[in-house]
Amino acid sequence: MPQIDVFEELASTSTKLLRRLARGEAVQEGYWIVADRQTAGRGRHGRSWFDGAGNFMGSTFVGQRAGDPPLSTLALVAGLAVQSTIDEQLGVGRHALLKWPNDVLVDGAKIAGILLEGAPGGVVVGIGVNLEVAPKVLGRATTALRKLGSTISRNRFAQLLADTFDREVERWRTYGLEPILGRWQAAAHPVGTPLLVGEPGEAQLEGTFAGLNPDGSLQLRLADGALRAIHAGEVNLVERN
């Protein structure tokens, strides 16, 4: 059963866990650090992570075992756990969608993000979910479960997510990556969705979503029909009028 330690304030839940691991402390799988407030939370490329009161901010550790799929694919595993937990809180006719590699959307707006960081013996998985408050992000729509009608508490959400994440990691270890890929694609935006891929300030590739490769990378179909494997990068949905 997952163990959840809640702290009133931390720089970052992932930083706290990474420092424990760096000191050689034993951290069991199923252990979570959750904070009421983060003063230096971060997302991809060191972006700050909004820490609105009542939102979920938590991190856990997954160790590497012989025969495990690549640790990088835990982003897909975490995505499934977060998407499923959020979906259970939404009303009829509304669903959370996964966006490669680490976002969860509702009605096209970001509601959650995932960040993996390498650690001694495994990886730390950091997750942020907008439960009460959605941050204002330039050029990106955001939302929160409260805005969508859910009244779930942070502590209840944390327990549900920790339980679901444990089950997903067990499936990942037991059955391998292939079924994870199929389930992830079924929970994502449809094949054919227009995408822009590229880091801010760099030239971007435009194409459509063509599913996932066997290693978990994204398949981008270019205008000439060619497929390009995307292993990392910023991915944005393109709205067609």
**What sign does the dihedral 98-101-103-105 (CA atoms) show?**
negative
**What would the two tokens of residue 83 be?**
């998407």
pLDDT over 90, % of the chain: 81
pTM for the model: 0.92
Nearest to 55 by CA among 108, 13, 102: 13
Query: 69: cis peptide before it, omega within 30°?
Result: no
Residue 211 pLDDT class (50, 70, 90 cuts): very high
Residue 222 has pLDDT above 90, yes or no: yes
The pLDDT, as a whole number, for residue 41 is: 63
Residue 48 has pLDDT above 70, yes or no: no
pLDDT tens digits for range 82-91: 999 999 999 8
**What would the two tokens of residue 172 be?**
């990942």
pLDDT tens digits for range 147-157: 999 999 999 99
Nearest to 81 by CA among 14, 147, 7, 157: 157
Angle at 141 between CA 112 and CA 241, to 5 degrees: 130
What is the rounded CA–CA span in Å between residue 63 and residue 119? 9
Residue 53 pLDDT class (50, 70, 90 cuts): confident
Helices 177-186 + 154-175 axis angle, to 10: 130
pLDDT tens digits for range 92-120: 889 999 999 999 999 999 999 999 999 99
CB 17 within 8 Å of CB 44: no
* Residue 185 CB coordination number (10 Å): 17
Burial bucket for residue 104 (CB in 10 Å: 0-12, 13-18, 19+): buried
Mean pLDDT of 43-47: 50
Kindly provide the b/e burial profile for residues 207-229, where b requires at least 16 CB atoms within 10 angstroms of the residue's own CB.
bbbbebeeebbbbbbeeeeeeee
Determine the distance from the C-alpha atom of residue 106 to the mean position of all C-alpha atoms in its chain, rounded to a whole number: 14
The pLDDT, as a whole number, for residue 45 is: 45
CB 111 within 8 Å of CB 105: yes
Ramachandran bin of 186, using left for φ above 0, alpha for ψ from -120 to 50, beta for the remaining angles: alpha
pLDDT over 70, % of the chain: 93
**What sign does the dihedral 161-162-167-170 (CA atoms) show?**
positive
